[in-house]
Structure 1
Amino acid sequence: MKSLWQRLKEKHEAKQEARYTKLDELPPSAGGGQKGEKKIHFTTKEAVKRFRAHALVEEKSHRDVVRVGLRDSVWTDLYHHALTASWAAFTYTAVISYFLINLFFAVLYWFAPEQVTGDGQHTLLSLFFFSVQTLSTVGYGGMAPVGLYADTVVSFEVLVGMMINALATGVVFARFARPRARIMFSNTAVISNENGVPALCIRIANLRISVILSVDVEIALSRLVVSENGHLVRRFDQLLLVQSHVPVLRFAFVMAHVIGPESPLHGKTVAELEHEEAEIVVTVTGTDEALGQTVFARTAYRFDRVRHNHRFVDIVASRPDGRIAVDYTRFHDIEEH
């Protein structure tokens, strides 16, 4: 029991020591500790809350941000909202709109039901289904307009129906045809100290059979800093990669940023970066070979998802039949070195 308690205590102490070890140093030695931190004075507590709530990680979407003083009118940007809405919201809106439009024309026919032929006396429900037939230009022949008023309403409804069918077809096609990059990012980023050179590494993979051409990768360090005038601002520092351009992304690729004297991460500890609400923002741009369209992907890592003195396990191997095997089940696996 005492041995177990001792191991847990040593593990906790090693974790705390790693948080205050500079990222560009080799594995920490005993006695290392945190140097005196420069105390940051924020303008107001409210500013801190606002900036800290504005995280760039994936768990927060645009709907989690409330924009005060900015009107987001659906009607002035209807096409964009139709493309970016979720499938559930898009389908719900389409069904409700379809029902309301047919109900509106059914009420118009109800003002003069005698001008619509058919068996028996017309009800609002029968006129609703007549509106459905007219709007879709089906026209089964069981009901037909016979007066000036009904002919006018039918003419207007047919025009509206043709426009709705054309617009709905275009929007649905655009939602299906919108290019999406099926790029997978590693769950964690690692800082490898192989060969005595510290480097921040992130692995990406192409999940499609078709390759992605001319891939450009950009990594930036996002953190909260106090400007010269005392305001709290979010600052983005570019992290230069050993290879930021990949001509062909077929399987997987590891991006590496050397933490040298010129790196924004040089001399930083995990504790300092966590205090600044730092994140690693990754953006990937390329051209899908099959679609011929530009695709984008992005993600972000907080520093609690960065593992020091680790590396990614190898997932590419040669098979006995001469083919290459890529084990995506081990894509996120890392190992200590």
Structure 2
Amino acid sequence: MIRRRQSDRDHLVRIGDREFLTRGLDQSFWTDAFHNSMSVSWPLFFGGFALYFLTMNLLFAFLFWLGGDCIANARSDSFVDLFFFSIETLATVGYGDMHPQNIYGHSIATMEIFTGMSTLAVFTGLIFARFSRPRARVIFADSMTFAQHDGQATLMARFANARRSSVNEARAELWFVYTDTTAEGVGFRRFRHLALKQPRNPIFVFSWTLFHEVDENSPIFGHGREQLEAMDAYFMVVFVGLDDVSGQNVNVRQGYSWRDVKFGEVFADILSVGENGVPQIDYRRLSATEPQETDGED
């Protein structure tokens, strides 16, 4: 029995902006072919398809070559003619210049036509699924802020809709992820939900700022930068809504480390009124922050 080296099962996984090394899990392409086909980049997807197409045509061209003079009008000992005949057969084109002329040639051609029809159905379905999958175009600020808002210490996150269409019945959640030590002295990663002042937005068009009031009921009450660092704190924003164009639910998430929290600062205003009196949104300032004029808490 062949034993796979442990290093062969080591894979780097990215979740948000964090990287984790997974070990001992079989992550070959065929372990979850559909998910891998849906999650790889477009260049890698079409590159894999092209490699498959080339490999299959080389294989069937070789099978035709083993049959000798089984393809009419193909030049003698011309592997190139057999290769292009294989392409025409696999694609079910059939120009008619070359065709099988004995049982062996018809048998291999039949196998290739069946393979080509199956392959076309699979890749057509995958391409349609990739194109039709709804995606939200939501851009997030580079950091979060922690300052006073309406007289209360508040953790804030901001994001904006990068499309010209609206997202209806939008919902947002804010999660606090941190490392805690159990009574047995074991480190454990915990998830705590942070209540928002306005978790729903009926029509999300431009920008949206989330506010979590840090009062006595908040899981981060009394925590400053040093406490969050000791807990290896991580904040996650989850967005879900109904896209107005596709009519389908879209979702996206964004993570922030404790290093991304700016204490004593607030987000700069991105809404202004132009000279012609028309309100304007400056998305270039989405991540801009400024020190709060009043004393902030951390």
- Answer whether TM exceeds 0.5 for this pair: yes
Q: Deviations over 1:254-310 (max 9, x none)?
A: 100001011111111211110111111111111111011111111111121111111
Corresponding position: 1:58 with 2:13: no
Distance between the aligned counterparts of 2:38 and 2:150, measured in 1?
49
Deviation at 1:320, TM superposition (A): 4.5
Specify the alignment match of 1:299 in structure 2: 254
> Tell me, what secondary structure is at the counterpart of 1:198?
strand
- Which of 304, 315, 334 aligns to 2:270? It is 315
Specify the alignment match of 2:225 in structure 1: 270
Is this contact kept in 1: 2:74–2:82, CA < 8 A? no
Between the two structures, name the one with larger relative contact order (CA 8 Å, sep ≥ 6).
1
Corresponding position: 1:159 with 2:118: no
Corresponding position: 1:101 with 2:48: no
Change over 3 Å in CA distance of 1:91–1:56 after alignment to 2: closer
TM-score (norm 2): 0.89
Distance between the aligned counterparts of 1:236 and 1:262, measured in 2?
15
Specify the alignment match of 2:69 in structure 1: 114
Change over 3 Å in CA distance of 1:248–1:67 after alignment to 2: farther
**Letter matched to residue 212 of structure 2:** H
Deviation at 1:187, TM superposition (A): 0.6
Runs of 5+ unmatched residues, structure 2 = 1-11, 293-298
Moved more, 244-253 or 90-99: 90-99
Change over 3 Å in CA distance of 1:119–1:260 after alignment to 2: closer
Specify the alignment match of 1:82 in structure 2: 37
Distance between the aligned counterparts of 1:57 and 1:163, measured in 2?
36
Specify the alignment match of 2:198 in structure 1: 243
Greater CA radius of gyration, 1 or 2?
1
**Runs of 4+ with >6 A deviation:** none
Distance between the aligned counterparts of 1:320 and 1:270, measured in 2?
42
Q: Deviations over 1:157-186 (max 9, x none)?
A: 111111111211111121122111110111
Deviation at 1:112, TM superposition (A): 1.4
Is this contact kept in 1: 2:75–2:81, CA < 8 A? no
Runs of 5+ unmatched residues, structure 1 = 1-52
Q: Deviations over 1:70-105 (max 9, x none)?
A: 334533532211101122321221111111111111
Is this contact kept in 1: 2:196–2:212, CA < 8 A? yes
Specify the alignment match of 1:187 in structure 2: 142
> Tell me, what secondary structure is at the counterpart of 2:17?
coil
Change over 3 Å in CA distance of 1:149–1:73 after alignment to 2: same
Q: Any residues of structure 2 matched to 1:39-50 within 5 Å, and which?
A: none
Is this contact kept in 2: 1:57–1:302, CA < 8 A? no
Corresponding position: 1:252 with 2:211: no
Between Structure 1 and Structure 2, the one with more strand by share is 2
Corresponding position: 1:286 with 2:241: yes
> Tell me, what secondary structure is at the counterpart of 2:236?
strand
> Please, what is the CA RMSD of the aligned residues?
1.9
Distance between the aligned counterparts of 1:267 and 1:250, measured in 2?
35
> Tell me, what secondary structure is at the counterpart of 2:145?
strand
Deviation at 1:125, TM superposition (A): 2.2
> Tell me, what secondary structure is at the counterpart of 2:218?
coil
Specify the alignment match of 1:144 in structure 2: 99
